[in-house]
Amino acid sequence: MAEESLSPQALERKLATILSADVAEYTRLMAEDEEQTLRTFRGHAEIFQSLVVLHRGRIFNTAGDAILAEFGSAVEAVRCATEIQAALRTRNDQLPPSRQVRFRIGVNLGDVMVQGKDLLGDGVNVAARLQSAAEPGGICISGSVYDQIRNKLSLSFKSLGEKSFKNIPHTVRTFSITEAEGHGALPAAENERRALAGNWAKWLIAAVLLFVVAGGYWAFSQNHRAKLEQVRVPAEPKRQMAERETKAAVEPRAAEDAQRRAQAERAGAEAARRELQAAAVPPEPARPPANAPSAAAGAADGLYAGPICYGPAAADPPRCFRAQATVSRGRIAGQWPGRDPGVTMFMVGEVSAAGEAKIHMHAENPDGTRTAAIDLAGTLKDGRLDATGSFRNGRTATLNWRKSATGSR
């Protein structure tokens, strides 16, 4: 009977979208400050879990700093991954760069084996390898996921080509998500071809410099030889002395010509080196000053929507829910049904010309009494509304919304 239960026919298989995540530089962070790293990681993990549930997924395995989640939809899995990175980026911005806990995420659509509540197989392993290829704070997806979402989500991608991963018998078509609408740019993994091109450029520059050095040494040796000929005083007939003097007069001129040629070659090599550097490393676009004013208020007007995430409380676990509000002429206003029957949530706020947002939220009961008041502060910039705050009991709240295309004016 035991052999029958382990037979291939008894294994349950299914197609699933797997999200694999782990913390970049986790060992270093723990070595420097274990307690702070653990507190930050737990806070991040709570937001992570809330957003997975919000997108109808489930976490089926955790080990140390690694998290594995299953989704029935590739679109929901990638949407969840981009919102996770946006929410955690807001939390990390409150920490010094060396203490930020940043996840790398990989997403794969493939066949998996079911073992109780756990999932195993090639589909899970590929997701883990894709996660290792992502940059800290970034997302890598397989070609199977890309084919499902490319016409359904407003994302920008960079193809990394066919990548070979350890212990994966086949190459994996790999893409890095470079930008998500409403969430800004994401760290993108380097394309192997571009890295090879950069190495080729470095070798070419080294070869040119070596050629210049060799030319300069040749010119120096010729000049040195001419000077040695000039200081010789051989006891020869006048005719031979005259011939030697004529030769000594000609050779310095040849050495000078060689020096001029070497200088011209060095100048050409330097110009070529600058052109190669410009081609290999494109200039970074200029960034506006941190205190530069935002665009005109009319450009920011529209409908904004997205998740609101509450941290843990004494009688309530962390949770996230969706809501929306309208921004018009620097004013924020919105309302939606609360979790309890008859309760309505209200939001009001203001946005300054510089894009600084101040928001007030409260719940209103059917009898008109107000509860659960909270004030948030953040920014409205480039179609994104990000804000954080806390209730009077200390429970945190994070808001990461983006401007809706259907609600734009």
Mark whether 350 and 330 lie in a shared domain.
Answer: yes
Q: What is the mean pLDDT of residues 79-107?
A: 96
CATH of residue 377's domain is 2.40.128
At which of 232, 253, 280 does a domain end?
280
Confidence of residue 366 (pLDDT cuts 50, 70, 90): confident
Q: What is the mean pLDDT of residues 181-209?
A: 63
**Residue 172 in this model has a pLDDT that exceeds 60:** yes
Confidence of residue 256 (pLDDT cuts 50, 70, 90): confident
In a domain, 249, yes or no: yes
Mark whether 172 and 28 lie in a shared domain.
Answer: yes
Mark whether 51 and 109 lie in a shared domain.
Answer: yes
In a domain, 291, yes or no: no
Helix axis angle for 238-280 and 192-231, nearest 10°, is 160
Measured torsion, CA atoms of residues 337, 339, 342, 347, in degrees rounded to the nearest 10: -40
Question: Which pLDDT value is given to residue 393?
Answer: 80
Question: Which pLDDT value is given to residue 373?
Answer: 87
Confidence of residue 183 (pLDDT cuts 50, 70, 90): confident
**Residue 340 in this model has a pLDDT that exceeds 80:** yes
Whose CA is closest to 317, among 12, 98, 45?
45
Q: What is the mean pLDDT of residues 241-251?
A: 59
Report strand pairing: 103-115 vs 139-142.
parallel
At which of 247, 280, 313 does a domain end?
280
The CA distance from 56 to 322, in Å, is: 13
Question: Which pLDDT value is given to residue 214?
Answer: 59
Q: What is the mean pLDDT of residues 34-40?
A: 95
CATH of residue 53's domain is 3.30.70.1230
Mark whether 305 and 262 lie in a shared domain.
Answer: no
Domain that holds residue 318: 297-403
Whose CA is closest to 26, among 106, 132, 120, 108?
132
The CA distance from 42 to 40, in Å, is: 6
In a domain, 409, yes or no: no
Q: What is the mean pLDDT of residues 285-297?
A: 46
Confidence of residue 295 (pLDDT cuts 50, 70, 90): very low
Strand partners, 103: 23
Report strand pairing: 172-180 vs 184-185.
antiparallel
Q: What is the mean pLDDT of residues 386-406?
A: 86
Mark whether 265 and 119 lie in a shared domain.
Answer: no
* 301 CB-near residues (< 8 Å, 6+ apart): 327, 328, 329, 409
Local structure of 130: helix, strand or coil: helix
**CB 176 within 8 Å of CB 147:** no
Q: What percent of the chain is predicted at pLDDT more than 70?
A: 71
Which of 34-38, 203-207, 306-310, 312-316 holds the top average pLDDT? 34-38
Mark whether 162 and 212 lie in a shared domain.
Answer: no
Question: Which pLDDT value is given to residue 155?
Answer: 94
The CA distance from 373 to 391, in Å, is: 7
Q: What percent of the chain is predicted at pLDDT more than 90?
A: 50
pTM: 0.58
Residue 223 tokens read as 């000049």
**Residue 95 in this model has a pLDDT that exceeds 80:** yes
**Residue 73 in this model has a pLDDT that exceeds 50:** yes
The number of beta carbons lying within 10 Å of the beta carbon of residue 248 is: 16
**Residue 263 in this model has a pLDDT that exceeds 80:** no
Question: Which pLDDT value is given to residue 199?
Answer: 57
The whole-angstrom distance between residue 344's C-alpha and the CA centroid of its chain comes to 38
Question: Which pLDDT value is given to residue 285?
Answer: 46
Residue 188 tokens read as 């993108």
Least confident of 7-21, 54-68, 271-285: 271-285
Report strand pairing: 155-163 vs 118-120.
unpaired
Strand partners, 370: 364
Model confidence over 115-160: pLDDT tens digits? 999 999 999 999 999 999 999 999 999 999 999 999 999 999 999 9
Name the residue type at position 271.
A
Confidence of residue 98 (pLDDT cuts 50, 70, 90): very high
Mark whether 128 and 22 lie in a shared domain.
Answer: yes
Number of independent structural domains in the chain: 3
